[in-house]
A and B are shown apart, each in its own frame.
Chain A
Amino acid sequence: MIRLGVPSKGRLMQDCFDWFAARGVVLRRTGSDREYAGAVEGVEGVTPVLLSAGEIPRELASGRIHLGVTGSDLVREQLDADEVAEVARLGFGRADLVIAVPNVWIDVETVDDLDAAAAAFRKVHGHRLRIATKYHRLVRDFLTAQGVADYQLVDSQGATEGTVKNGTAEAIADITSSGETLRANHLRILPDGLIHSSEAVLWASRAAAWTAEDRAALARLSQMLGVPGVSV
Chain B
Amino acid sequence: MTSKAVIRAEGERLLAAFLEAGAVAMEADILQPAGTLLDLYGEDIRARAYVTDDPLRGEMMLRPDFTVPVVQAHMAHGAEPARYAYLGEVFRKQARGAQEACEYLQVGYEVFDRSAPETADAEVFALFRDLLAGLGLRPVTGDIGILMAAVCGLETTERRKAALLRHIWRPARFKALLDRFSGRAPVPVGRLRLLERLRAGSPMALIEEAGTFVGLRSAEEIVERAEALLADAETPPIRATEAALLYDLLTLEAPAAHALAHLRGIAPMLPAIVPAVDRFAARLEALAAKGVAVETLTFEASHGRTALEYYDGFVFSFVAEGMPPVASGGRYDALTAVLGAGAFIPAVGGVIQPGLVARLRGALA
Tell me the A residues contacting B by CB distance below 8 Å: 80, 82-83, 102-107, 109-110, 112-113, 116-117, 119-121, 124-125, 127-129, 136-137, 140-141, 143-144, 146-147, 149-153, 164-165, 167, 170-171, 185-187, 191-192
Shortest Cβ distance from B334 into chain A, in angstroms?
15
Segment of B114-122, B207-215, B241-249, B283-291 in the binding face: B207-215
Segment of B7-15, B190-198, B260-268, B356-364 in the binding face: B190-198
- Taking CB atoms, residues of chain B closer than 8 Å to A151 are 42-43
Complex alpha-carbon distance, A102 and B191, angstroms: 18
* Smallest CB gap from A81: residue in B: B96
Check A164/B215 contact, CB under 8 A, given A150-B42, A192-B190: yes
- Taking CB atoms, residues of chain B closer than 8 Å to A128 are 38-39, 42
Summed over the interface, the residue pairs from A and B with CB atoms below 8 Å come to a total of 119
- Assess whether B203 is in contact with A170, with CB atoms less than 8 Å apart: no
CB pairs A–B below 8 angstroms (24 shown): A82-B96, A102-B214, A103-B212, A104-B219, A107-B225, A109-B190, A109-B194, A110-B191, A112-B190, A119-B162, A119-B163, A120-B221, A125-B216, A128-B39, A140-B44, A143-B43, A144-B47, A147-B170, A147-B173, A151-B43, A153-B43, A164-B214, A186-B211, A191-B190
* Smallest CB gap from A106: residue in B: B206
Most buried by A among B38, B96, B216: B216
Most buried by B among A82, A120, A127, A167: A120
- Assess whether A105 is in contact with B217, with CB atoms less than 8 Å apart: yes
Tell me the B residues contacting A by CB distance below 8 Å: 38-39, 42-44, 46-47, 95-97, 162-163, 166-167, 170, 172-173, 176, 188, 190-191, 193-194, 197-198, 203, 206-207, 210-217, 219, 221-222, 224-226, 229
* Smallest CB gap from B205: residue in A: A106
Complex alpha-carbon distance, A128 and B34, angstroms: 14
- Taking CB atoms, residues of chain B closer than 8 Å to A102 are 213-215, 217
Complex alpha-carbon distance, A171 and B217, angstroms: 10
- Assess whether A140 is in contact with B225, with CB atoms less than 8 Å apart: no
- Assess whether B222 is in contact with A107, with CB atoms less than 8 Å apart: yes
- Taking CB atoms, residues of chain B closer than 8 Å to A121 are 217, 221
- Assess whether B225 is in contact with A116, with CB atoms less than 8 Å apart: yes
Check A104/B225 contact, CB under 8 A, given A110-B190, A149-B166: no
Complex alpha-carbon distance, A160 and B47, angstroms: 22
- Assess whether A107 is in contact with B46, with CB atoms less than 8 Å apart: no
- Assess whether B198 is in contact with A116, with CB atoms less than 8 Å apart: no
- Assess whether A104 is in contact with B191, with CB atoms less than 8 Å apart: no
- Taking CB atoms, residues of chain A closer than 8 Å to B39 are 127-128
Shortest Cβ distance from A178 into chain B, in angstroms?
18
Check A104/B96 contact, CB under 8 A, given A119-B166, A147-B176, A152-B38: no
Residue B212 contacts which of A109, A124, A186, A192 (CB distance < 8 angstroms)?
Answer: A186
* Smallest CB gap from A191: residue in B: B190
* Smallest CB gap from A101: residue in B: B215
Complex alpha-carbon distance, A72 and B214, angstroms: 31
* Smallest CB gap from A169: residue in B: B215
- Assess whether B42 is in contact with A152, with CB atoms less than 8 Å apart: yes
* Smallest CB gap from A80: residue in B: B96
- Taking CB atoms, residues of chain B closer than 8 Å to A152 are 38, 42-43
- Taking CB atoms, residues of chain A closer than 8 Å to B42 are 128, 149-152
* Smallest CB gap from A168: residue in B: B216
- Taking CB atoms, residues of chain A closer than 8 Å to B188 are 110, 112
In the A-B complex, the 6 residue pairs with the closest CB atoms: A147-B173, A110-B190, A109-B194, A107-B226, A107-B225, A104-B210
Check A104/B214 contact, CB under 8 A, given A112-B190, A140-B43: yes
- Taking CB atoms, residues of chain A closer than 8 Å to B176 are 147
With A103-B210, A104-B211 known, 16 other A-B pairs at CB within 8 A are A80-B96, A102-B217, A103-B211, A104-B219, A107-B203, A110-B194, A120-B221, A143-B43, A146-B173, A147-B167, A147-B176, A149-B42, A153-B43, A165-B214, A171-B215, A186-B212
- Taking CB atoms, residues of chain A closer than 8 Å to B225 are 107, 116-117, 120
Complex alpha-carbon distance, A72 and B338, angstroms: 41
- Taking CB atoms, residues of chain A closer than 8 Å to B229 are 107
- Taking CB atoms, residues of chain A closer than 8 Å to B96 are 80, 82-83
Complex alpha-carbon distance, A105 and B193, angstroms: 14
